[in-house]
């Protein structure tokens, strides 16, 4: 699965990515974006949003 979040990750998003890899998806593909509309970008990429406002 693809997982999308904002660029410039900090501790919280690193922790979320680790939890996703450890317990949810053992072969994740993480996508990082600076885009203004992350929801639309996630839909185009077929990705699941994580650790973003509204997810």
Q: Where are the beta strands (DSSP E) in 1-55?
A: 2-6, 29-33, 47-49
Residue 34 CA to residue 1 CA, distance in Å, equals 20
Give residue-wise pLDDT tens across range 24-42.
999 999 999 998 899 999 9
Q: What pLDDT score was predicted for residue 35?
A: 87
Whether residue 15 lies inside any domain: the answer is yes
Whether residue 43 lies inside any domain: the answer is yes
For the segment 36-54, the average pLDDT, to the nearest whole number, is 92
Domain of residue 16, residue span: 2-49
Answer yes or no: is pLDDT of 55 > 70.
Answer: no
Are residues 6 and 33 in contact, defined by beta-carbon separation less than 8 angstroms? yes
pTM of this prediction? 0.85
Convert 10-47 to b/e letters by CB count within 10 Å (16 or more is b): eeebeebbeebeeeeeeeeebbebeeeebeebbeeeeb
Answer yes or no: is pLDDT of 53 > 90.
Answer: no
Share the mean pLDDT of the chain: 93
Domain count across the chain: 1
């Amino acid at each position: 699965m693809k997982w999308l979040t904002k660029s410039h990750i900090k501790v919280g998003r690193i922790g979320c990515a680790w939890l996703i890899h450890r317990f949810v998806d053992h072969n994740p593909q993480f996508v990082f974006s600076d885009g203004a509309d992350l929801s639309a970008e996630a839909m185009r990429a077929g990705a699941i949003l994580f650790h973003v406002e509204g997810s």
